Chains A and B, each alone.
Chain A
């Protein structure tokens, strides 16, 4: 009883729950998730209407519905998912500072280190939710709109996988995408801790993505490739080979973890000093 009276911090689960409730009460989070649900549906309709085998992942979707969620995740990872995560990270610290609500949390008090943990958790939840929406709607739209013979998945290697194995590949890609988004989220959170303007966070992430894309396309800068977060973002196709080749998926995940570590480090360092 006496411990309760002299408690200097609210229980962590309660803080996390409050953060998640706040994230999902935000209208823009819900709208974003709704739009993400449209991506696989639109690709499915496009594939069915076009009805001629194209190249690459989208081409592989024709008549092969279980590839749809993987194609949709790859498409969304190029720009839309990172932007959504940047938005969540922007609201998490810069947005709260702009509203004057960060002060309220620090005065409660929530320790600055703990605040970073809670905020990072909130951003992670958004990433998982967005990826889950695309994956689940992708599987459904793939089965219903595109269709596939007996719920099977035809791999890029030409072999056929059963429904269970196919779903496992989808899950593998989903987890890998979340890993890449953790990197984006951590860097965005670091920017968010450095500014009071949420737009700066969005602009930084957008600018970063474009810069990385340009740098990655210049042949003379080949040596930069291993350092660019975006250079591994086409690796999802590897999950469609039989057997799965984990090289690109693994190396891009490792790279993402490095970015995440740097992002979290900067965020923690900055939040210890930040005025609120």
Chain B
């Protein structure tokens, strides 16, 4: 699949017209940031493929936000190079940023202005918005985050969740090629969290790349195609979510009350099996269909058989504990 050329495609970088996989939406090479003696980010290499939803995971203080800030040109790296939509950061970041929507380090707005006025002020600075299109774009963004009813109230009186929604609206003022959301569900209620997930899904479906940082694992597992795990400023793992999960412990989980019978049956065919709730776990030996057929023939009551895929939470625990 190729990226559809914009009207000015001729003037764009050649890679823009190349297959999507060729041009990463964001790239970090040896990116490092040191504050005094504290190493916030210690030489990270990361590529975010175009069209991916990358979940950036890590405990508080693991360098997620600093990495994002360097990618966006808000902070100068101590060493290394960053690239955003194919443009070097910070030299040519102005060419990338109009296509990038970001919510970094919480929503920043003026308390004495209403939500709508705050967004209009932000919209006035958006290069890709025509002046005449600003009111419409602001209203659309407010509706998209379900904040239309509170648009004319002062930001001062917003709840934490409403503030977060307004920040999200600011990132969505213009159709974006890349959306960066730093802890987007902070302070949101379950309905708000679901809304954020829906919006990320819509962005993904529309072909945008999304980088979302979070310490909520379930959230990332539900919305992401790719994961990057950070701890103490270094990248522990990065790649496609499915691949990372499969590389963990696999195996077949058989739910059965006849544990002993099952174990002895499996032993007879040299399968590696152990008793574990809710029955036995088979980690070696014949293929799944054979095992199932064998057990059933032996008269083992099989309630359920499924492949064991570790939850992201387990994987995360493995990675961070191993690294510590």
Cα A101 to Cα B163 with chains together (Å) = 13
Query: Which of the segments B124-132, B246-254, B268-276 contacts the partner chain?
Result: B124-132
The residue from B6, B72, B109, B124 contacting A5, defined by CB atoms under 8 A apart: B6
In chain A, positions 84-105 with a C-beta closer than 8 Å to chain B are 99-105
Proximity bits, A10-48, B CB within 8 Å = 1, else 0: 110011011001100111000000000000000000000
Q: How large is the interface on A (under 10, 10 to 19, 20 to 34, 35 or more residues)?
A: 35 or more
- Taking CB as reference atom, which chain A residue is nearest B92? A8
In the assembled complex, how far is the CB of residue A142 from the closest CB belonging to chain B, in whole angstroms? 34
Tell me whether A2 and B125 are in contact (CB under 8 A): no
Is residue B279 contacting chain A, with contact meaning CB distance below 8 A? no
**Interface size of B in residues (CB-CB distance below 8 Å):** 40
Tell me whether A109 and B8 are in contact (CB under 8 A): no
- Taking CB as reference atom, which chain B residue is nearest A14? B124
Which secondary structure dominates where chain B touches chain A?
loop
Proximity bits, B222-264, A CB within 8 Å = 1, else 0: 0000000000000000000000000000000000000000000
Proximity bits, B1-14, A CB within 8 Å = 1, else 0: 00000111001000
Tell me whether B11 and A6 are in contact (CB under 8 A): yes
Residues on B with beta carbons closer than 8 Å to the beta carbon of A8? 94-95, 97-98, 127
The residue from A105, A106, A108 contacting B127, defined by CB atoms under 8 A apart: A108
Residues on A with beta carbons closer than 8 Å to the beta carbon of B11? 2, 6
Cα A22 to Cα B111 with chains together (Å) = 12
In the assembled complex, how far is the CB of residue B63 from the closest CB belonging to chain A, in whole angstroms? 15
Proximity bits, B59-94, A CB within 8 Å = 1, else 0: 000000000010011111000000000000000011
- Taking CB as reference atom, which chain B residue is nearest A9? B127
Given contacts A2-B8, A6-B11, contact A100 B106 (CB under 8 A): yes
Tell me whether A99 and B109 are in contact (CB under 8 A): yes
- Taking CB as reference atom, which chain B residue is nearest A109? B97
Is residue B24 contacting chain A, with contact meaning CB distance below 8 A? no
Tell me whether B8 and A27 are in contact (CB under 8 A): no
Tell me whether A2 and B94 are in contact (CB under 8 A): no
In the assembled complex, how far is the CB of residue A125 from the closest CB belonging to chain B, in whole angstroms? 16
Residues on B with beta carbons closer than 8 Å to the beta carbon of A107? 72, 74, 97, 100, 102, 104
Is residue B122 contacting chain A, with contact meaning CB distance below 8 A? yes
Tell me whether B117 and A25 are in contact (CB under 8 A): yes
Is residue B311 contacting chain A, with contact meaning CB distance below 8 A? no
Given contacts A7-B127, A275-B74, contact A100 B97 (CB under 8 A): no
Given contacts A1-B7, A111-B94, contact A103 B105 (CB under 8 A): yes
Cα A106 to Cα B69 with chains together (Å) = 12
- Taking CB as reference atom, which chain B residue is nearest A16? B124
Tell me whether A17 and B104 are in contact (CB under 8 A): no
In the assembled complex, how far is the CB of residue B35 from the closest CB belonging to chain A, in whole angstroms? 10
In the assembled complex, how far is the CB of residue B211 from the closest CB belonging to chain A, in whole angstroms? 14
Is residue B291 contacting chain A, with contact meaning CB distance below 8 A? no
The residue from B98, B109, B170 contacting A109, defined by CB atoms under 8 A apart: B98
- Taking CB as reference atom, which chain A residue is nearest B35? A275
Residues on A with beta carbons closer than 8 Å to the beta carbon of B112? 25-27
- Taking CB as reference atom, which chain A residue is nearest B9? A2
Residues on A with beta carbons closer than 8 Å to the beta carbon of B109? 99-101
Given contacts A2-B7, A5-B128, contact A106 B74 (CB under 8 A): yes
Is residue A273 contacting chain B, with contact meaning CB distance below 8 A? yes
Tell me whether B74 and A108 are in contact (CB under 8 A): no
In the assembled complex, how far is the CB of residue A112 from the closest CB belonging to chain B, in whole angstroms? 9
Is residue A276 contacting chain B, with contact meaning CB distance below 8 A? yes
- Taking CB as reference atom, which chain B residue is nearest A22? B121
Cα A149 to Cα B121 with chains together (Å) = 50
Tell me whether A108 and B97 are in contact (CB under 8 A): yes
Tell me whether A25 and B113 are in contact (CB under 8 A): yes
Cα A104 to Cα B74 with chains together (Å) = 10
Cα A2 to Cα B110 with chains together (Å) = 34
- Taking CB as reference atom, which chain B residue is nearest A110? B125
In chain A, positions 246-268 with a C-beta closer than 8 Å to chain B are none
Residues on A with beta carbons closer than 8 Å to the beta carbon of B7? 1-2, 5
In the assembled complex, how far is the CB of residue A19 from the closest CB belonging to chain B, in whole angstroms? 9
In the assembled complex, how far is the CB of residue A198 from the closest CB belonging to chain B, in whole angstroms? 13
- Taking CB as reference atom, which chain B residue is nearest A1? B7
12 chain-A/chain-B pairs, Cβ below 8 angstroms: A3-B8, A6-B8, A7-B127, A8-B94, A8-B97, A14-B131, A17-B124, A18-B124, A99-B110, A104-B125, A109-B125, A273-B76
6 further contact pairs, Cβ within 8 A, besides A2-B8, A4-B130: A7-B98, A7-B128, A18-B125, A99-B108, A101-B109, A109-B97
